[in-house]
Amino acid sequence: GAGVSQSPSNKVTEKGKDVELRCDPISGHTALYWYRQRLGQGLEFLIYFQGNSAPDKSGLPSDRFSAERTGESVSTLTIQRTQQEDSAVYLCATQLGIVGTQPQHFGDGTRLSIL
């Protein structure tokens, strides 16, 4: 497709389980961002990739959170030993290059619910 694709769109899991969220970027977009959006709140930056390196991972809330990216392609965000406070919508956004004039293109997010 032409846009950013995220899967799954919804994920319900039990506390303590691991989850993996996937983001397929727009072809050619070198920059990729993960954000967390809790109910009724704004965007919380998690991590930023330029290609397959992560120059800024300062937003990852704990060592239970990790992310990787294969080249300038798919990225996965993994949450280990999930907790109820991890419940949120996880948004992925990609950007053409690093020039500040380029906007971010967002996927529709993965809605994660921890029981």
Partner 1 sequence: AQSVTQLGSHVSVSEGALVLLRCNYSSSVPPYLFWYVQYPNQGLQLLLKYTSAATLVKGINGFEAEFKKSETSFHLTKPSAHMSDAAEYFCAVTPGGYQKVTFGTGTKLQVIP
Q: In whole angstroms, give the CA distance from residue 34 to residue 13.
A: 20
Q: Please say whether the beta carbons of 19 and 34 come within 8 A.
A: no
The least distance separating partner 1 from the CB of residue 41, rounded to whole angstroms, comes to 7
Nearer to partner 1 by C-beta: 55 or 61? 55
The least distance separating partner 1 from the CB of residue 81, rounded to whole angstroms, comes to 27
Contacts of 62 (CB under 8 A, 6+ apart): none
Nearer to partner 1 by C-beta: 36 or 114? 36
Q: In whole angstroms, give the CA distance from residue 68 to residue 66.
A: 7
The least distance separating partner 1 from the CB of residue 100, rounded to whole angstroms, comes to 2
Nearer to partner 1 by C-beta: 12 or 98? 98
Q: Are strands 110-114 and 10-13 parallel, antiparallel or unpaired?
A: parallel
The least distance separating partner 1 from the CB of residue 54, rounded to whole angstroms, comes to 11
Applying CB under 8 A, the residues found at the interface with partner 1 are 4, 33, 35, 41-43, 45, 48, 50, 55-56, 91, 93, 98-101, 103-109
Nearer to partner 1 by C-beta: 45 or 87? 45
Q: In whole angstroms, give the CA distance from residue 55 to residue 15.
A: 30
